[in-house]
Amino acid sequence: MTKAFLMCMFMLLLACSRPQRIAEEAGAIRDLAESSRQRFVAHQDTAGEAEQVEIIDRSSAIAVHAAGVQDVEPPILQTVELVAVAVAVVAAVVLAWQLGLGILLRRLFGWIPERERSAAKLLRESVAGETNLREAVAVMRAQDPLFDAAYRRPTWKASSVQSGSR
């Protein structure tokens, strides 16, 4: 969790506009120099006041020059953005599949997995009398562990669920 937080902070740091940060810092220096200059004036220190005036002038010049600085995006940031988008797409697909939208998409496109097709074929043959029903159930149990677990589950649980729904 901490690594993820640090990575997000690093990405935010890279994404900040450097000229804007330079101008903000120059403004903060100017504000500090103004308050310091007022104290030098109150103590009648002309040398200190002259230094503060020079600091104020230079910070104003920095703010003006910062407007002409072109912000360049680091190449690694483009790669990080691409990876983040890819991870988000994969996460969205997995989430959609887990929410059951995958089954809906399968039905829309008519794709039926091989296991279900073979089970349906066996059941059709057993209904038509070509295959024994026991053989069909045995093959289905061998192919699908979840079906096998449901088949072996005691019937009292199923009957108690049915009696509770009446």
Q: Is the pLDDT of residue 104 over 70?
A: yes
**CA dihedral (96, 98, 100, 104) positive or negative:** positive
CA distance linking residue 31 with residue 125, whole number of Å: 88
Convert 52-115 into a string of H (helix), E (strand) and C (coil): HHHHHHHHHHHHHHHCCCCCCCCHHHHHHHHHHHHHHHHHHHHHHHHCCHHHHHHHHHCCCCHH
**pLDDT tens-digit map of 41-90:** 898 888 988 998 999 898 888 888 888 878 777 788 888 889 999 999 99
The pTM of the full predicted model, rounded to 2 decimals, is 0.37
How sure is the predictor about 93, in pLDDT bands with cuts at 50, 70 and 90? confident
Extents of the domains making up the chain: 16-70, 73-110, 112-153
What pLDDT does 85 receive? 93
149 vs 133: CA distance, rounded Å = 18
Choice among 4-18, 97-111, 147-161 with the minimum mean pLDDT: 4-18
Residue 34 in tokens = 């103004």
The percentage of residues in the chain with a pLDDT greater than 90, rounded to a whole number, is 8
